[in-house]
Amino acid sequence: MITDRLANPELVECEVGGVTRASFILRGALAAGAVYGTAAVAPFVSSALGATTDLDILNFALTLEYLETDFYQVKAKTVGLTGVAAHDAANFGMEEAAHVAALTSAIRAAGGTPAPKPTFVFPVKTATEFLGLAYTVENLGVSAYNGAGPLLKSKALLGAAGSIVQVEARHAAAIGLLIGKSPTPSGGFDEAKTMTEVLAAAKPLIK
């Protein structure tokens, strides 16, 4: 699974506009995906993954955390959540915002520039729809971190990513229980998705 991502190591040194192909492509992937569609962008992202830097991964994670934060802190207020669901959304929103803050400072500390926050569009109107999407988004987050984790070169960053993904998994399980879905949708072993797969899944939520 890991070695699949190294399919095109020759692309590692390619440069586009003065930055490595890998970082260029991943930084621009979400924006480009919005313009050209994920299908057009995905192959480039896939090619670049073998050369993914820690900063690329952090910015990739940051984008997902922006999405989750917006979802819980903005969208949640429009769908009429009550009781445990409202309580969870408030808590989880604060936790996602803390992830955004941590990733932003980690990116700055590593000499990088945090990716800009995209505009999100969440196609949900009711509490039920919101929770259904929350379950999808949290599970996607888990698979994104689990897929990207082994690509991180810094052990400190791996520890930080591990600390965050554990919380995403907890969110996913709690939401699952609320909506009658399995807290362990992949059984004994959680899925790991490539960044390409994650970006494709997140694409419909990015304006």
Partner 1 sequence: MTTPSSLREDDEMAPQTRGIVEELVRDDFGRKKFLKAVGTAGAASFGAFVLAACGSSSSTTTTKTSTPTPAPTPAGASVPASFGSGDVGILNYALTLEYLEDQFYAKVVAAKLFSGAVGSLVSEFAYQEVQHVAAIHATVLKLGGTPAAKPTGKFPITTAAAVAKLAYTVENLGASAYLGQAGYITSPDVLAAALSIHTVEARHAATLATLVPGGHVTPTGAFAKPADSATVLAAVKPFIA
Judged by the rule CB under 8 A, the positions of this chain that interact with partner 1 are: 1-2, 80-88, 91, 94-96, 98-99, 102, 127-128, 131, 142, 145-146, 149-151, 155-156, 158-160, 162-174, 177-184, 186-192
Q: Tell me which residue has tokens 């969110």.
A: 171
Q: Tell me which residue has tokens 């989750």.
A: 68
Nearer to partner 1, 22 or 151 (CB): 151
3 state DSSP class of 120: strand
Least distance (Å) between residue 160 CB and partner 1: 8
Least distance (Å) between residue 56 CB and partner 1: 17
Least distance (Å) between residue 57 CB and partner 1: 14
Using CA atoms, how far apart are residues 30 and 42, in angstroms rounded to an integer? 10
Nearer to partner 1, 117 or 149 (CB): 149
Nearer to partner 1, 29 or 160 (CB): 160
Least distance (Å) between residue 183 CB and partner 1: 4
Using CA atoms, how far apart are residues 59 and 104, in angstroms rounded to an integer? 8
Nearer to partner 1, 34 or 158 (CB): 158
Nearer to partner 1, 30 or 151 (CB): 151
CB 92 within 8 A of CB 171: yes
Element (H, E) at 16: strand 15-16
Using CA atoms, how far apart are residues 54 and 57, in angstroms rounded to an integer? 5
Tokens of 138: 């949290």
